[in-house]
Amino acid sequence: MSKTKRSEYDVAIIGAGAAGLAAARDLTAAGVNVVVLEARDRIGGRIHTIHQTGNPLPIELGAEFVHSRTGQVWDLLHASNTTAYYADGDHFELKKGKLVQANDFWEQVGKVLDKLEDLGPRDISFIDFLKRCCRGKDMAEAKKLALGFVEGFDAARGDRISAKSIAQAEAGSDETEGAESFRTVRGYGALMSFLHDHSRQPQLALRFGHVVHVVRWRRGRVELHARTRQGEPLPPVHARRAVITLPIGVLRASAGSEGVVRFDPDVPSHRAAWEQIETGPVVKVLIECREPFWEKTTFPNATTDKPLHNLTFLHGDTLAFPTWWTHFPVRDNVLTAWAGGPAADKLALRSNREILDAAVASLVKLTGLSRHRIARVIRVAHVADWQADPYARGAYSYIAVGGIDAPKQLQKPIERTLYFAGEATASEGLGGTVDAAITSGKRAARQILTNLR
Ligand SMILES: Cc1cc2nc3c(=O)[nH]c(=O)nc-3n(C[C@H](O)[C@H](O)[C@H](O)COP(=O)(O)OP(=O)(O)OC[C@H]3O[C@@H](n4cnc5c(N)ncnc54)[C@H](O)[C@@H]3O)c2cc1C
């Protein structure tokens, strides 16, 4: 495949996240000329890995865990000669002011999620499902934990998320998924670099700082209009087809918002599909401490007089930051605070300073340590508010009630010219992950290569 004119590419890809890079790699390997237009000045999108001196592990401002034992991420880990480790360890939960060990968290959540098998043909929200299922006082705790899981982990609103999509995801996952999470040793960013570096370079043009705002198209021809992030117009880019990997939050943003893209002509069936997919907000705060104080200090709220040597997760469902974790079993100085779904909504429009204050206040409540003690131990803190990021507008997608077929609709090419990819286009309730994004990029590349034959 070659460029017909100097300025016309076979394929233009919008977005250099996991989906866009995976598509670029497969297309260039087949000899297709590709241009990737990316609004930011880096690759990776919602994968943002930073390396700090003195820390053995990288810091993940976006995606962090690998949620299964097989799949595209593992294939890439093997291909790039690295690995991921099992994020095992002790869970503690704040109950009546005390930190109690909660190692049956997944078992409790599983008791509720197993009941999704009995869901009838009509889709309902997870909240409505909770009202119907699992009656009885003995299930109250499990229901509370399951809602906390859906809101925190899926970053979803319980009254919006489709119970059917959760059922599908559960059915598609291996038995122990959720309980089993892995963390990549070199960071997800290394996998993104691998995808980029293993694309056939003569076939690949990657343009940073290109904020696409119009996709003008007709069968077999696409004209992309972009501006710099400062708003200066850039020369249009011409291609025969486009792969659009924009996050759902960007696709759904209202006209005139930063990063939003207008399709000319419109794509009504696909628009109707993406309107049925939501994006969950997440605020993540990564705190580099002067020392792993949880390994050295007995917390006043602990029910043991020993430091929490094997601490992985801390949960406090009413706190501004309800979930915390360490990098255990790797021992380092980093603590992560996580607010997803409704908890993240409550932090909207706050400054980084206010967000950090809210995180510190949550840690004070969890541990019982003084504010002064915690403030003293913090060396550096990184705040990542993904809802406030104009090129993400949220962390990852979930299916709204009634939207179970929306991803399948998004997978359909339009006039063999526009192809949608990105984590939200994964069907069977499996969206929302890096694995889903890579799979979708490879799928779009395959569709194009099939149509080219
Ligand atoms: C805080 C957080 C935690 C997460 N944790 C996990 C996890 O533990 N495990 C997991 O598997 N997944 C996790 N995810 C989800 C995972 O990061 C995403 O599913 C995946 O990275 C999405 O890849 P993508 O290519 O579909 O989209 P993106 O990575 O968003 O790529 C889209 C690209 O399009 C660009 N773009 C946007 N607008 C424009 C425009 N107008 N013009 C040009 N370019 C534009 C963006 O800058 C971006 O680079 C997490 C995400 C977040 C935010």
Mean pLDDT of the 112-117 span: 92
For residue 126, tell me if it sits in a domain.
Answer: yes
Query: 117 or 370: whose pLDDT is higher?
Result: 370
**Does 86 map to a domain?**
no
Region 105-134: mean pLDDT is 91
Asked, as a colleague might, if the bond just before 265 is cis with ω within 30 of 0, I would say yes
Q: Is residue 177 predicted with pLDDT exceeding 80?
A: no
- Give yes or no for residue 7 having a pLDDT over 80: no
Q: Are 111 and 130 in contact (CB under 8 A)?
A: no
Look at residue 131 and tell me if it is in a domain.
yes
The mean-pLDDT minimum among 13-22, 65-74, 236-245, 410-419 falls in 65-74
**Residue 96 placed within a domain:** no
CATH code for position 265 = 3.50.50.60
Ligand 1 centroid, distance to 307 Cα (angstroms): 37
Segment 337-348 shows an average pLDDT of: 96
Residues 143 and 201 grouped into a single domain: no
Task: Looking at the structure, tell me whether residues 168 and 305 fall in a common domain.
Answer: no
- CA separation (Å) from 314 to 13, 155, 177, 245? 40, 17, 20, 34
Residues 6+ apart with CB under 8 A from 309: 295
Residue 258: inside a domain, yes or no?
A: yes
The answer on 405 and 376 residing in a single domain is no
How much is the pLDDT for 2? 46
pLDDT single digits (tens) 259-317: 899 999 999 999 999 999 999 999 999 999 999 999 999 999 999 888 999 999 999 99
Position 174 scores a pLDDT of 56
Q: 125: which strand partners?
A: 162
414 or 452, which is more confident: 414
Do 382 and 416 lie in a common domain? no
Element (H, E) at 425: none
Question: Closest ligand 1 atom, CA of 282?
Answer: 1
Q: Of 342, 360, 388, which marks where a domain is finished?
A: 388
Asked if residue 365 lies in contact with residue 349, where contact means CB atoms within 8 angstroms, the answer is: no
* Pair (196, 275) in one structural domain: yes
Task: Indicate whether 287 and 226 sit together in one domain.
Answer: no
Residues with CB under 6 A from ligand 1: 14-20, 37-40, 45-47, 62-65, 67, 210-212, 245-247, 250, 259, 261, 282, 284, 386, 391-392, 395-396, 422-423, 432-435, 437
129 found inside a domain: yes
356, 388, 420 — which closes off a domain?
A: 388
pLDDT for position 141:
87
Nearest to 20 by CA among 33, 7, 38: 38
Same domain for 161 and 251, yes or no, is no
The mean pLDDT value of the chain amounts to: 93
Domain that holds residue 414: 8-46+188-279+399-452
High-pLDDT (> 90) share of the chain, % = 82
E strand or H helix at 43, and its extent?
none
318/340 same-domain check: yes
Domain final residue, candidates 369, 388, 407:
388
pLDDT of residue 4: 44
- Tell me, what amino acid is at 430? L
User: Where residue 364 sits, what CATH number does that domain have?
Assistant: 3.90.660.10
Q: How many CA atoms lie within 13 A of 400 on its CB side?
A: 11
Atom of ligand 1 nearest to the CA of 40: 47
Residues 270 and 202 in one domain: yes
To test the ligand 1 pocket, which listed residue (434, 440, 443) has its Cβ within 8 A of the most ligand atoms? 434
Interval 254-262 mean pLDDT: 90
Whole-angstrom distance, CA of residue 270 vs CA of residue 412:
9
Closest ligand 1 atom number to CA of residue 210? 43
**Average pLDDT of the segment spanning 89-114:** 90
Cβ atoms of 255 and 350 closer than 8 Å:
no
| CA distance to 14, 376, 446, per residue, from 267 (Å) | 16, 54, 22
Confidence check: pLDDT of 3 > 60: no
Q: What's the whole-number mean pLDDT along residues 2-26? A: 86
Q: Is the pLDDT of residue 343 over 90?
A: yes
What are the pLDDT digits (tens) for 298-310? 999 999 888 999 9
What's the confidence (pLDDT) of residue 384?
Answer: 98
Same domain (yes/no): 195, 266: yes
Number of domains in the chain: 3
Whether residue 432 contacts residue 154, with contact meaning beta carbons closer than 8 Å, is answered with yes
Q: Give the pLDDT band (50/70/90) at residue 428.
A: confident
112 and 166 inside one domain: yes
Cα separation, 161 vs 398, in Å, equals: 7
Region 167-192: mean pLDDT is: 81
pLDDT at 179: 58
Is the residue at 394 inside a domain?
Answer: no
Residue 219 has pLDDT above 60, yes or no: yes
For residues 113 and 197, state if they share a domain.
no
Q: Tell me the one-letter amino acid at 360.
A: V
What share of residues in the chain are helix, strand, coil (percent, to 5)?
35, 25, 40
> Does residue 93 lie in a domain region?
no
